[in-house]
C-alpha cells in the first residue's frame, strides 16, 4: 500500500495505481468502524465526473457495508451537496457523515475521498492514523450484501438555494460561467434558470477527461476562455469553478478577484448590513486584506487548508473564511463549509447594490502593494517540513545582510514580516513542494525579501541533499 495517498486534508491518489481495490475497500472498512464507534449508522456518498468514480464508489461502499452501515447514495453531484446532506434531512433520510469521491482540480487520472464525520472534516492525524492502521493490518477485498438507498440530495440542495437567493430573481446583469467540464453545472444551471438570471455557460457538460482546460480557476491560464467570452460578448460578470465546485473565481470586465479580495468585498457587504464581520484568512492572504477588514470588524490569520478553516470557523463562530485558491466558507446565513455555487450566488448579490465598475473601483482604491504569485520549490515529502524547521531556527539569528525582521509568524510555515512587506515559505500539505509568496510596497523590496529567504532555503537544501 502506498501511504502517500493519506494527505492532510483528504485521501488522494491515482486510480488503480495506489487507489486499488483492496486499498479502497480497506479504507471503507476502517471508516465504517470509526463511524460505528461514534454511534453512527449511515453515510451519504456522492461522486464527481471522473471516469473511475463509479468503480471507486462500488469498492468503498462495500467496505463501509462490512460494518452494517446504511449507504445513502446521492449520485454525481458537486462536493458541497455532500456537505449539505449532513445538515439536512433529505426525504426522511439523515446522517451527519458523508464521503465525496472526487479528484477536485487534479489531472484526470487522480481521484480521492473528501470525508466528513459528525459534520466535521476527517483530516490531519485522523487520516494519517487510518493509513497507518491499514498499512499494519492490510484488508483484502471481501464484500458482502449491503443496505443501499438512492437519495436525491441535489434537488433538495437546489430548492434550498432557490429560496435562499430569491432576491436575485431577474438579476440585472448577464453572467458567463466556466464549469471546466466539472460538476458545477449540475448544481447551478437549474438555479439560474429558476431565478431568471441571464447567463451563458462554457464547458457545462461533466467530462472527467477535462477536454477543454484544467479545472482549476486559481490558475490564470485556465481562465482565458472565460476572459475572452466576457470581452467578445460584452458580458460584465464571470464565474469559474473547479472540478468539484468547491472553489470559485469571480471576474468582471477588467479584474480577476483573488480570494483575499473577495473576502474584503464580502466583509464590506456584511458591514453594509450592520454586521461587524469576523473573518478568517490563511497565511497566504495579503496584509491588505487583514488591515481592511480590521477597519470594519476583525480578521484572524490561520493555517492554509479547507479542513483547517472549516474547524476554525466553527471554533470562533466567524462569519466568513477565505483561501487564496477560491475556497470561500460562509457561516453567515449558511452552514460554514466551502461551497462555490453558494459563494457564486453570494458574489452576484454584491452587484445588487454596486455596479461592476464600482466593485472594481473598491479594489483599485486599496493600498498599492506588489505581490508575487504563489511559487513552488520542489522538495521531498521527507524534507519539506525539515526545511521549514531549519528555516525557523536560522531566522532566530539571521545572516548579517538579512533585511530587518519585525515579526515571524509560524502559524503555518514561516511568514516573515519586514519593514516594507512580508515573505512566506510553507510546506505544502498535499504535494512534495515548498510554497512561497512575497508582498511589499514596491517590487524592489519584494524581490529583495524573496532573494534573501530563498538563499537560506537553498543553503538548507544543499545541506540535506
Kindly write down the DSSP assignment for every residue of 95-150, as one continuous string.
-S-EEEE--TTS-TTEEEEEEEETTEE--THHHHHHHHHHHHS---------EEEE
Residue 113 φ/ψ, nearest 5 degrees = -135, 125
Cα–Cα separations (whole angstroms), residue 402 to 325, 369, 439:
30, 21, 17
Alpha-helical (H) ranges within 142-235 are 153-164, 184-194, 224-232
- Determine the Cα–Cα distance for residues 63 and 104; give it in Å rounded to an integer: 23
Q: What is the mean pLDDT of residues 34-63?
A: 97
Structure confidence at residue 10 (pLDDT): 93
Identify whether residues 128 and 195 lie together within a single domain.
no
Whether residue 1 has pLDDT greater than 90: no
Q: What is the mean pLDDT of residues 200-224?
A: 96
Tens of pLDDT, residues 224-259: 999 999 999 999 999 999 999 999 999 999 999 999
Tens of pLDDT, residues 143-164: 988 989 999 999 999 999 999 9
Tens of pLDDT, residues 396-423: 999 999 999 999 999 999 999 999 999 9
Cell of 339: 461551497
Identify whether residues 249 and 394 lie together within a single domain.
no
Residues with a known catalytic role: 12, 104, 327
Whether residue 300 has pLDDT greater than 90: yes
Q: Are 179 and 207 in contact (CB under 8 A)?
A: no
Whether residue 294 has pLDDT greater than 80: yes
Alpha-helical (H) ranges within 375-440 are 384-396
- Determine the Cα–Cα distance for residues 200 and 176; give it in Å rounded to an integer: 5
Q: Say what the pTM is.
A: 0.95
Residue (of 57, 27, 5, 28) closest to 134 by Cα position: 27
Q: What is the mean pLDDT of residues 51-79?
A: 97
What's the pLDDT band for 386 if we cut at 50, 70, 90? very high
Structure confidence at residue 191 (pLDDT): 98
Tens of pLDDT, residues 203-212: 999 999 999 9
Tens of pLDDT, residues 101-120: 999 988 999 999 999 999 99
Structure confidence at residue 2 (pLDDT): 86
Kindly write down the DSSP assignment for every residue of 289-330, as one continuous string.
HHHHHHHHSEEEEE-SSHHHHHHHHHHHT-SEEE-TTS-EEE
* Of 152, 182, 203, the domain-final residue: 152
Mean pLDDT score of the chain, rounded to an integer?
A: 96
What letter would DSSP give residue 205? S
The answer to the question of residue 160 being in a domain is: no
The answer to the question of residue 157 being in a domain is: no
The answer to the question of residue 331 being in a domain is: yes
Identify whether residues 176 and 266 lie together within a single domain.
yes
- Determine the Cα–Cα distance for residues 434 and 453; give it in Å rounded to an integer: 12
Q: What is the mean pLDDT of residues 425-431?
A: 89
Structure confidence at residue 464 (pLDDT): 84
* Of 364, 393, 412, the domain-final residue: 364
Instruction: Give the residue numbers spanning the domain of 342.
Output: 165-364
Split into its structural domains, the chain has a count of 3
The CA-CA-CA angle for residues 239, 8, 32, to 5°, reads: 100
Q: What is the mean pLDDT of residues 358-367?
A: 96
What letter would DSSP give residue 338? B
β-strand pairing of 120-121 with 110-117: antiparallel
Burial 30-67 (b: 16+ CB within 10 A, else e): bbbbbbeeeebebbbbbbbbbebbebbbebbbbbbbbb
Output the domain CATH number for residue 450. Answer: 3.30.310.50
Q: What is the mean pLDDT of residues 48-53?
A: 96
Identify whether residues 327 and 204 lie together within a single domain.
yes
Contacts for 408 with CB less than 8 Å, ≥ 6 apart: 392, 395, 414, 415, 416, 417
Structure confidence at residue 193 (pLDDT): 98
The answer to the question of residue 257 being in a domain is: yes
* Of 364, 380, 407, the domain-final residue: 364
The CA-CA-CA angle for residues 219, 222, 223, to 5°, reads: 100
The answer to the question of residue 159 being in a domain is: no
Identify whether residues 375 and 310 lie together within a single domain.
no
Structure confidence at residue 382 (pLDDT): 86
Identify whether residues 192 and 223 lie together within a single domain.
yes
What's the pLDDT band for 373 if we cut at 50, 70, 90? confident
Structure confidence at residue 68 (pLDDT): 92
Q: Which residues pair with 76 in a beta bridge?
A: 47
Whether residue 465 has pLDDT greater than 80: no
- Determine the Cα–Cα distance for residues 115 and 99; give it in Å rounded to an integer: 5
Structure confidence at residue 44 (pLDDT): 98
The answer to the question of residue 158 being in a domain is: no
Identify whether residues 212 and 330 lie together within a single domain.
yes
Counting DSSP H helices and E strands in the chain, the numbers are 14, 22
What letter would DSSP give residue 18? T
- Determine the Cα–Cα distance for residues 159 and 163; give it in Å rounded to an integer: 6
Amino acid at each position: 500500500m502506498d501511504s502517500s495517498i493519506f494527505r492532510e486534508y483528504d485521501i488522494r491518489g491515482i486510480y488503480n495505481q495506489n487507489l486499488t481495490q483492496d486499498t479502497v475497500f480497506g479504507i471503507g472498512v476502517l471508516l465504517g468502524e470509526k463511524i460505528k464507534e461514534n454511534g453512527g449508522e449511515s453515510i451519504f456518498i456522492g461522486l464527481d465526473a471522473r471516469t473511475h468514480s463509479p468503480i471507486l464508489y462500488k469498492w468503498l461502499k462495500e467496505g463501509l457495508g462490512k460494518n452494517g452501515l446504511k449507504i445513502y447514495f446521492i449520485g454525481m453531484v458537486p462536493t458541497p451537496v455532500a456537505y449539505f446532506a449532513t445538515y439536512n434531512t433529505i426525504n426522511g433520510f439523515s446522517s451527519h457523515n458523508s464521503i465525496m469521491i472526487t479528484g477536485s482540480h487534479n489531472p484526470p487520472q487522480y481521484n480521492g475521498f473528501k470525508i466528513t464525520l459528525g459534520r466535521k472534516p476527517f483530516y490531519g492525524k485522523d487520516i494519517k492514523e487510518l493509513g497507518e492502521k491499514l498499512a499494519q493490518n492490510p484488508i483484502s477485498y471481501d464484500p458482502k450484501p449491503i443496505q443501499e438507498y438512492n437519495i436525491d440530495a441535489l434537488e433538495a440542495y437546489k430548492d434550498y438555494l432557490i429560496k435562499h437567493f430569491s432576491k436575485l430573481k431577474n438579476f440585472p446583469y448577464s453572467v458567463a460561467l466556466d464549469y471546466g467540464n466539472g460538476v458545477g453545472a449540475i448544481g447551478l444551471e437549474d438555479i439560474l434558470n429558476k431565478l431568471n438570471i441571464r447567463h451563458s455557460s462554457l464547458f457545462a457538460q461533466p467530462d472527467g477527461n477535462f477536454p477543454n482546460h484544467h479545472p482549476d480557476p486559481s490558475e490564470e491560464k485556465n481562465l482565458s476562455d472565460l476572459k475572452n467570452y466576457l470581452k467578445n460578448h460584452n458580458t460584465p460578470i464571470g464565474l469559474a469553478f473547479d472540478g468539484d465546485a468547491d472553489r470559485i473565481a469571480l471576474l468582471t470586465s477588467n479584474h480577476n478577484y483573488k480570494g483575499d479580495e473577495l473576502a474584503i468585498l464580502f466583509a464590506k457587504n456584511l458591514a453594509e448590513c450592520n454586521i461587524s464581520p469576523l473573518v478568517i484568512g490563511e497565511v497566504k492572504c495579503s496584509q491588505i486584506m487583514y488591515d481592511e477588514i480590521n477597519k470594519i470588524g476583525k480578521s484572524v490569520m490561520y493555517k492554509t487548508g479547507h479542513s483547517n478553516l472549516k474547524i476554525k470557523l466553527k471554533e470562533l463562530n466567524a462569519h466568513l473564511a477565505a483561501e487564496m485558491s477560491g475556497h470561500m466558507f460562509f457561516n453567515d446565513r449558511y452552514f460554514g463549509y466551502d461551497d462555490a455555487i453558494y459563494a457564486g450566488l453570494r458574489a452576484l448579490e454584491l452587484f445588487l447594490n454596486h455596479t461592476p465598475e464600482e466593485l472594481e473601483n473598491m479594489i483599485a482604491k486599496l493600498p498599492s502593494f506588489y505581490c508575487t504569485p504563489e511559487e513552488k520549490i520542489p522538495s521531498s515529502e521527507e524534507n519539506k517540513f525539515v526545511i521549514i524547521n531549519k528555516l525557523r531556527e536560522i531566522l532566530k539569528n539571521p545572516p548579517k545582510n538579512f533585511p530587518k525582521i519585525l515579526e515571524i509568524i509560524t502559524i503555518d510555515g514561516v511568514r516573515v514580516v519586514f519593514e516594507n512587506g512580508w515573505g512566506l515559505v510553507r510546506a505544502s500539505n498535499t504535494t512534495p513542494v515548498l510554497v512561497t509568496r512575497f508582498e511589499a510596497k514596491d517590487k524592489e523590496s519584494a524581490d529583495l525579501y524573496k532573494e534573501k529567504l530563498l538563499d537560506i532555503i537553498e543553503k538548507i537544501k544543499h545541506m540535506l541533499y
